[in-house]
Amino acid sequence: MLYPLRCTTSSFFSLLIGVILTYPATAQAPRQHQYQAEAGALLATDQTPFWLRANQYGIVPLKGPALRLQAGLRSDYQLGDSTGARPTVDWGYALDAVANVGATNQLLLPEAHVKARLGNLELYAGRKREVVGLVDTLLTTGAYAWSGNALPIPKIQIGLYQYTPVPFTKGIVSFLGAFAHGWFENDGRLVKGSYLHQKYLYGRLGKPTWPFRLYGGFNHQVIWGGRADPGVLNNLVSVDGQLPTGIEYYRAVVFGSRGQWKPADPNVTSFEDNRIGNHLGSLDFGADVNLSHWNLYAYRQFFYDDGSLFYGTNLADGLNGLRLKNRRQPDGEAFFLQQITLEFLYSASQGGDAFVIDDSDLRGRDDYFNHAQFLDGWEYRNRIIGTPFFSLPNETRPSLPQRVGVVNNRVSVGHVAAKALVNGRVDLTTRLSLSRNLGTYALRYPTQPMQFSGLFSAALPVSAFGGATLSGSLGVDLGGLLPTSVGVYVALRKTGLLSRSTTY
């Protein structure tokens, strides 16, 4: 259940004007058009190992072998002049194309968007790589609701794209947030023509220069609307397969309101006395502190997918993280530890095994990412949109119980990841995860299989093509949830500036 923040129209515009005036017009600055190109090969003994494909925005195929060709061009916002000041109005774009050829043939556009900003107020349209939530975005298992595991959903979004000081607080209080409308494409979906509603708001207490800062906020995701072929949805949850889709239901989608429909409304059933669409997200808290040459960041995400969080019955579930990041620059050391991240993900409670709507102590069986109307689950293009440790049926061993939608959402996961630099040249990354998997309350895994997934990656600069990066990754899956598999990915990547031009 979500209770959104409210403000008056006058206070909103006062805040907006203050944000815009924070960034005065400045002198000319160079615009950069960056390009990148990559060619790589993926090999695996069975299914592509988990950490070779998870949180890669849906571009790595589930089955290999595959040859991957990737090319992109982008222009981000200008960096500003020598004083650090930026123009008040700016624009940018990104286009990234990926072709997989082999056991799986795909042509994908993980990024294709245009964007513009006025101060810190941004508007963009298209696909964009994003992670939503308070997590360490570099080495995390993945934010609960929006992790970067799936291909980005096309949407139109407006919001504050970075922490922006509230006027008259001297930079002590800052906010970022966004409001978006998106489209779920119909390819392979049981329910077609559905929409995405997304919003999030996060605050920071403390200036960037302070040694200690606090963070908090929420994100709200909704899939709503659409239609299923006859027989896919029964008449208890739809009207001949049609779900409420019109603009007249949008307010209820945004505010998560319930039970506001006229009895004679031909587009709703008694199911919508609950809510229009499938609502989910997380309530997040975090803090970071500077400790000499290190920065320590701790965070917690509380999950909601039903009323359990409001009634406090699923408080055991959540994502807990601790990140230690080196603030010092490397200085010729043979081994330089840049970052280490520890996480523990737990989702086995879900408020308990019983659901009694009139008993707040028994509001359980949340069945994260599943829904009686949106049978596909919280997925896009056959990838979970949120944490990749929840599984779809095409990922797990065929011998395990199967169903439509998410088959494994009751998990406990321990995760450690690290990044280091060797001899000032070789970048090393490792991710090691051990999970216990219970399936779902409706379809349990009797053996509660354990699963280990590991990744070891190295990248080093080479002189080819005037300077490029050669990288290699080894992934391993061992356990009872996923097929046992060893896989490697080797790639050569070239990046640079296509041109420089002086802007207005």
Hey, which bits of 143-211 come out as E strands?
Answer: 155-165, 173-183, 191-192, 195-205
Average pLDDT on 252-275 reads 83
At residue 449, the pLDDT reads 97
pLDDT (tens digit per residue) in 459-480 = 999 999 999 999 999 999 999 9
User: Which of 11-25, 234-248, 331-345 has the weakest average pLDDT?
Assistant: 11-25
pLDDT (tens digit per residue) in 71-84 = 999 999 987 766 66
Q: How many CB atoms lie within 10 A of CB 214?
A: 12
20/211: higher pLDDT: 211
Q: Which H/E stretch holds residue 52?
A: helix 50-53
Average pLDDT on 153-169 reads 96
Instruction: Specify the DSSP class assigned to residue 19.
Output: H
Q: What is the mean pLDDT of the chain?
A: 90
**CA distances in angstroms from 288 to 213, 244, 269, 341, 481, listed in the order given:** 6, 43, 47, 13, 35
Spacing of C-alpha 23 from chain mean position? 29
* Whether the predicted pLDDT of 21 surpasses 80: no
Q: How confident is the model at residue 29 (pLDDT cuts 50, 70, 90)?
A: low
At residue 485, the pLDDT reads 97
Gap between the Cα atoms of 86 and 162, Å rounded: 14
pLDDT (tens digit per residue) in 136-147 = 999 999 999 999
Q: If we measure between CA atoms, which residue out of 378, 369, 365, 463 comes closest to residue 196?
A: 378
* Whether the predicted pLDDT of 7 surpasses 60: no
Q: How many CB atoms lie within 10 A of CB 420?
A: 18
pLDDT (tens digit per residue) in 331-368 = 889 999 999 999 999 999 998 887 777 666 767 789 99
pLDDT (tens digit per residue) in 83-109 = 667 889 999 999 999 999 999 999 999
* Whether the predicted pLDDT of 369 surpasses 80: yes
- Residue carrying the six token digits 């513009």: 116
Q: How many CB atoms lie within 10 A of CB 397?
A: 15
At residue 152, the pLDDT reads 97
Q: Is residue 13 classed as helix, strand or coil in its secondary structure? A: helix
307/379: higher pLDDT: 379
Gap between the Cα atoms of 30 and 498, Å rounded: 13
* Whether the predicted pLDDT of 26 surpasses 70: no
pTM: 0.90
* Whether the predicted pLDDT of 110 surpasses 50: yes
Q: Is residue 4 classed as helix, strand or coil in its secondary structure? A: coil
* Whether the predicted pLDDT of 53 surpasses 70: yes
pLDDT (tens digit per residue) in 380-420 = 999 999 999 999 999 999 999 999 999 999 999 999 999 99
Q: How confident is the model at residue 502 (pLDDT cuts 50, 70, 90)?
A: very low
At residue 166, the pLDDT reads 95
Secondary structure of 83-101 in HEC code, one letter for each residue: CCCCCCEEEEEEEEEEEEE
317/19: higher pLDDT: 317
Percent share of the chain, pLDDT over 70: 91
At residue 367, the pLDDT reads 94
29/423: higher pLDDT: 423
At residue 8, the pLDDT reads 43
Percent share of the chain, pLDDT over 90: 78
Does the bond joining 65 to the residue before it have cis omega, within 30 degrees of 0? Answer: yes
What is the sign, positive or negative, of the torsion defined by CA atoms of 442, 445, 450, 454? negative
Gap between the Cα atoms of 124 and 92, Å rounded: 9
Burial (CB < 10 A; 0-12, 13-18, 19+), residue 322, is middle
Top CATH class of 114-225+277-498 equals mainly beta
Q: How confident is the model at residue 499 (pLDDT cuts 50, 70, 90)?
A: low
At residue 17, the pLDDT reads 43
* Whether the predicted pLDDT of 503 surpasses 90: no
At residue 188, the pLDDT reads 84
